[in-house]
Amino acid sequence: MLFRIDDRLLHGQVIEGWIKPLGIRRVVIISETLSKDPVQPELMRMVVPDGTEVHLLDVAQACERLKEQAASGGKTLVLAPSPSEALELVRAGVRLEIVNVGGLHAQNAAAQISPSLSLGASDWKTLKKILEAGVRLEAQPIPTEPPMDLSDWLAKSGTLF
């Protein structure tokens, strides 16, 4: 199971960069608001390659379902719009070894790691908590670029927030 934090959720980079080349067969999107949106759920199902399942779950449902799946591996991509969903999952006992921090675009960002990673104070704090729970955090926009371990950066960047 691949776990990615990306506030654009299912978009070009994820579909062309991850889902197609890695042959992802199941996408799980964790969001409290998405399932209430009139357009987005259908859109998310429409844009994936044929035969790929898309599941929209709220955090509670995701905690329940991913506990079993996390261990089983398989070609599943889990997308969350912010670090807070990831932290809730970890606290609920979902075993995540690596969390890919793919895209965060804070409006009043205090720090920018890369063009697609701008963090506000609350995201920074949440990522720090995920790290402290023993999860490896990697910034990696697409699989063909090397992942960057965020632990050093998080350790040093506290003064920015």
Partner 1 sequence: MIGIIVVTHLEIATRMIEAAERMFGKQDKLLGLDLKSDDSLQSMTQKIAGAVTDCIHNDECRDGILILTDLFGSTPTNASLAQIAATRRPIEVLTGVNLPMLASAINNRSRLTLAELSAKALYDGQKGIRDAKSILMSRVVAQKS
Name the residues that contact partner 1, by CB under 8 A. 7-12, 15-16, 37-40, 43, 46-48, 103, 105, 107, 112, 115-116, 118
The SS3 assignment for 55 reads: strand
Q: Compare residues 30 and 90 and give the one whose CB is closer to partner 1.
A: 30
Residue type, 60: A
With respect to partner 1, which residue has the nearer C-beta, 70 or 79? Answer: 79
Question: Catalytic site residue 11?
Answer: yes
Least separation in angstroms between CB 35 and partner 1 = 14
Residue 93: CB minimum distance to partner 1, A = 30
Cα separation, 160 vs 20, whole angstroms: 37
- 69 or 116: whose CB is closer to partner 1? 116
Task: Pick the catalytic residue from 8, 11, 45, 55.
Answer: 11
- Cβ atoms within 10 A of the Cβ of 139, count? 21
Say how far apart CA 49 and CA 46 lie, in whole Å.
Answer: 8
CA–CA separation, 104 and 136 (whole Å): 17
Least distance from C-beta 108 to partner 1, angstroms?
12
Pinpoint the alpha helices (H) of 19-58.
Answer: 20-22, 40-47
* Positions marked catalytic: 11
